[in-house]
Amino acid sequence: MKSSVSTRGAHDTLRDFTADRRLLVLSAMALVTGSFGAAAAWVLLKLIALVTNIAYFHVISTATTYLSHARLEPSSILIPIVGGIIVGLMARYGSDKIRGHGIPEALEAILIGQSRIQPRVAVLKPLSSAIAIGTGGPFGAEGPIIMTGGALGSLFAQFFHLSSAERKTLLVAGAAAGMTAIFGTPVAAVLLAIEVMLFEWKPRSFVPVVVSVIVAIAWRPWLVGPWPLFPHAGIPPMPWWGLALCAGVGLVAGLQSAITTSAFYWFEELFEKLPIHWMWWPALAGIVVGIGGLIDPAALGVGYDNIGALINGTVLLHAALALLIVKAIIWVVALSSGTSGGTLAPLLMMGGAVGALEAHILPFGDAGFWALLAMAAVLGGTLRCPLTATVFAIELTGDVRVMPAVLVTCVASFAVTVLLMRRSILTERLARRGRHLTYEYTVDPFEVMRVSEIMTRPVHTLPASMSTADVLAFFATENEIKRHKSYPVVDDTGRVVGMASRSDVLRWSREGWPRDQTLGERPEVGEVFVGYADELIGHLADRMAAADVGRVPVVDRATGKLAGLLARRDLLRVRANAARLERERARPLRVPS
Show me where the domains of the chain are located. Answer: 22-223, 242-432, 445-580
| 302: pLDDT strictly greater than 80 | yes
Mean pLDDT, range 564-590, rounded to an integer:
81
* The CATH number of the domain covering residues in 445-580: 3.10.580.10
Band of pLDDT at residue 6, cut at 50, 70 and 90: very low
Give the integer Cα–Cα distance in Å for 439 and 430: 14
Give the integer Cα–Cα distance in Å for 69 and 298: 7
Determine if the pTM surpasses 0.75. yes
**3-class secondary-structure state, position 536:** strand
Fold of the domain spanning 242-432: Clc chloride channel (1.10.3080)
Percent pLDDT > 70 in the chain is 92
Mean pLDDT, range 564-571, rounded to an integer:
87
Query: Residue 413 has what pLDDT?
Result: 96
| 227: pLDDT strictly greater than 80 | no
Contact predicate 305/66, CB 8 Å: yes
Q: Give the type of residue at 193.
A: A
Mean pLDDT, range 278-283, rounded to an integer:
92
Model pLDDT for residues 367-401, shown as the tens digit of each residue: 999 999 999 999 999 988 999 999 999 998 988 88
CATH H-level, domain 22-223: superfamily: Clc chloride channel (1.10.3080.10)
Q: In 337-366, which residue ranges form alpha helices assigned H by DSSP?
A: 344-358
Query: Residue 12 has what pLDDT?
Result: 60
Query: Residue 288 has what pLDDT?
Result: 94
- Percentages of the chain per state (helix, strand, coil), in multiples of 5: 60, 5, 35
The closest of 180, 117, 203, 107 to 153, measured between CA atoms, is 117
Q: Give the type of residue at 358.
A: E
Domains 22-223 and 445-580 belong to one CATH topology: no
Determine the length of the chain. Answer: 593
Model pLDDT for residues 166-217, shown as the tens digit of each residue: 988 999 999 999 999 998 899 999 998 888 888 788 888 899 999 999 999 9
Read off φ and ψ for residue 232, nearest 5 degrees.
-155, 140
Q: How many CB atoms lie within 10 A of CB 12?
A: 11
